Amino acid sequence: MLVTLRDAPSDAEIISHQLLIRGGFIRKIAGGIYAYMPLMWLVLKKIISIVEEELNAIGCLQTLLPQLHPAEIWQKSGRWKGYTDGEGIMFHLKDRQGKEFGLGPTHEEIITQIASEIINSYKQLPINIYQIQTKFRDEIRPRFGLMRSREFIMKDAYSFHVNEEDLKSTYNKMNLTYKKIFNRCGLQFVAVDADSGAIGGASSQEFMVTAEAGEDLILRSDDNSYAANQEKAISNPKKANILEVEEPFLLKTPNQKSIEEICLHQKLDATQIIKVLLYLAITEDGIKQPLLISIRGDQELNEVKLLNFLSVNKAKSILDLIPIEMKHLDLEGIENIPFGYIGPDLNDLLLQNAKSWEKNFLRITDKTASNLQTFVCGANKPNEHKVVINWDSIQSNHHIADIRKAKSGDTCIHDKDQRLHECRGIEIGHIFQLGRKYSKMLNATFTTDKGHLEPVWMGCYGIGISRLAQAAVEQNHDKEGIIWPTAIAPFEVIIVVANIKNEDQKNLGENIYQELKQEGIDALLDDRDERAGLKFNDADLIGIPWRIVVGRDANACLVELHNRRTKETTKLKANTAKQTVKEAIKKEKILFAP
């Protein structure tokens, strides 16, 4: 079923998506939903085999969990509403009895429910259970083929432990195992510190394939000793330029609302200015909490860090974080705010009728702003800013936190001689230390060696199998097509018979094919009655690592051996070509043996 296309559909935006469509690996059924065609299924099975070998080698147990999840289990964990309301990603439905169910986007709830029923004693721990199956997520904007699809294949594992120390031990073991898996798949990847997001937990790490089309921004130190997703990254910003003034005073700033306009007209540097942002945080119980954020003028707010700060300090789950503008001012008592001229001491008199905690601004100041001694900020009046000599002159209770985005050019906090630089990445794996978040909510407990009843400690470990396949293409291609790493290529070698009507070529091609198959080599025979040039183009497009061309010299048992990655072509005796291919593949298998 090799059906290739000359051109990719218009909705295939990135090269890996285009090549998988053109090469006949996947077929679009609907937005974010794809059929895995025979070539792609061969790739996926090889990835799955590598994953299973490595996980089984460290004692993980394979299972298969239901895809249809009862709502009540997710309601116990507190995640049902967030996953199904508004922009939630869970497909959900009702059965004929009116009971609610969801199609599993992840399986923390299900596996913890099972653990609560089967784990009783410390003697049963630790245990690490994994599965490989289809997941469903109602993406707001499915795009990029298998990168962000609504139905995808995932490996997810869950470990259970008696204490945090044992959890960390397994977490480290899974970290090493993931690196083996991705190395065996022939990928260039980087492990980065990451935010735990909706999954939760104290610590997590992502594994990224570096590629220009990646949706994630990674910050790495020059020596690669530090790497983090920008959502999580921490760094030392560049030093601020000192504002040399001795007395506070007002600045007339007519129609100068942005940092750029103020710097231009007032001869200031952005590091000398504090910008103030107003946000509205909406909690899971519907409370609207206005926020006043102060940050240095050359920095950007990291909303993920802000959400994490709020979750810790308010002990409430934040469902939404909205920048406050005029159109969002629906809070009683918040009025007459001079947007563009707000200072960190925004007058509480603006909140005349707002006396409860949820109506008063919660003030949060980034460390870059709090470290400034003298600075310029809004004067809370239209067309005016002011010079402030020190923070003591601002009568305002504010929390100090790291809520800025680290960026390229910052120095590494571990080594100030190392600068951070940016690259793009595609997430293919993520590991979490969940702690006891789910076990407490779903009552998964065990009896300790001292007879006490305690919640189990948990870890969670995911690999996007189908996403990994496309990420490999994004990282391994040229203008002719895909260049599969040998370990996950649908076939290791393709034998192209240039003219199938020529008996010498046909017989030699079939003999080479059969002998390679007998030697355990994954071989594909292209014996189509098509032009040789079309066959060569298809072979390049689908990216099989080695190509043996049987052409006009078949009567002398001479063939052409072509290396897809290096593009080197050599004319050899057929037996020599077969031996060369076998030795090259054998050497690679030994290099990445489990």
Domains and CATH numbers, the chain: 15-234+421-474 (3.30.930.10), 249-401 (3.90.960.10), 491-591 (3.40.50.800)
For residue 467, what is the DSSP state?
H
Q: What residues pair up with 130 in beta bridges, in sequence order?
A: 62, 157
Q: What is the pLDDT of residue 317?
A: 66
Q: What is the pLDDT of residue 352?
A: 43
Q: What is the radius of gyration, based on Cα positions, of the chain?
A: 29
What DSSP assignment string belongs to 56-71?
HHTT-EE----SEEEH
User: Does residue 592 or residue 452 have the better pLDDT?
Assistant: 452
Whether 359 shows a pLDDT value over 60: the answer reads: no
The least confident of 91-95, 115-119, 195-199 is 195-199
Q: Specify whether the backbone of 350 is left (phi greater than 0), alpha (psi in -120 to 50) or beta.
A: alpha
User: Does residue 338 or residue 166 have the better pLDDT?
Assistant: 166
One-letter amino acid of 21: I
What are the start-end ranges of the E strands in 139-182? Answer: 151-161
In terms of Cβ atoms closer than 10 Å to its own Cβ (0-12, 13-18, 19+), residue 252 is exposed
Kindly state the average pLDDT of the residues 411-437: 91
Q: How confident is the model at residue 353 (pLDDT cuts 50, 70, 90)?
A: very low
Whether 318 shows a pLDDT value over 80: the answer reads: no
Q: How confident is the model at residue 308 (pLDDT cuts 50, 70, 90)?
A: confident
Mean model confidence pLDDT for the chain = 90
One-letter amino acid of 343: G
DSSP strand pairing (546-550 vs 493-497): parallel
Kindly state the average pLDDT of the residues 573-577: 95
Residues contacting residue 133 through CB under 8 Å, at least 6 positions apart: 64, 65, 67, 153, 154
Which residue in 440, 434, 446, 454 sits closest to 117, CA to CA? 446
What DSSP assignment string belongs to 532-585?
HHHHHHHHHHHT-SEEEEE-TTGGGTEEEEEETTT--EEEEEHHHHHHHHHHHH
Kindly state the average pLDDT of the residues 135-159: 94
Kindly state the average pLDDT of the residues 283-298: 84
Q: 508-526 pLDDT, tens per residue?
A: 999 999 999 999 999 999 9
Q: What angle do CA 478, 482, 486 make, to 5 degrees?
A: 120
DSSP strand pairing (457-464 vs 415-435): antiparallel
